[in-house]
Amino acid sequence: MADAERFAERLRGARVALGLEQADLEKLFEEEGYAKRMVGQLERAEVETIRGIHRAAASKTLGFPEAWFTADDPRALLRVPPPTEKLDEILRRLKQLGVLVEVTDQEELEQELESAAQQSESTASNSAGSTPASGKK
């Protein structure tokens, strides 16, 4: 696997492990002083040469050690736990950037969950109700 492809795979893995969308990661990179467009380029393996600055930016922004992005042996990754202590800091930063909204009211939280469940059910029933057109007469 090419270095850029491995880095892209590991960057996506770190982002997903932290429950972040690419847009969230772009905001975090930008907050750290890196170009936010770099995130998409790195995740699509469009950067031909992965440099130390790329690994350092990802490590600093996500809280994963650089070994996460460089290890050749996938078994070595099992020894690199997701940085749960960094997650609180990342969530705080996303809230400050206005990406996440903190819900402090239990009733409001229940309403949001109910709304999301109804939306999910509606989408599922619309998918189930639509059938492809058949060519039979």
pLDDT (tens digit, 9 = 90+) per residue, 62-85?
888 888 888 877 666 666 566 666
Helix 22-31, helix 84-96: angle, nearest 10: 80
CA of residue 68 relative to chain centroid, distance: 15
Instruction: Specify the pLDDT at position 45.
Output: 92
Encoded tokens for 94: 């996303």
The amino acid sitting at 71 is: A
pLDDT recorded at residue 64: 84
Superfamily assignment of 3-96 in CATH? Answer: lambda repressor-like DNA-binding domains (1.10.260.40)
Q: With beta carbons less than 8 A apart as the criterion, state whether 29 and 61 touch.
A: yes
| The predicted structure's pLDDT at residue 137 | 43
Which residue numbers in the chain have pLDDT < 70? 1, 74-87, 91, 94, 97-137
Q: What is the pLDDT of residue 133?
A: 47
Token pair listed for 39: 């995130």
Spatial distance between the Cα atoms of 23 and 36, rounded to a whole number of angstroms: 9
Sign of CA dihedral 56, 46, 26, 83: negative
Q: What is the pLDDT of residue 135?
A: 46
Predicted pLDDT at 31? 86
Q: How many CB atoms lie within 10 A of CB 77?
A: 15
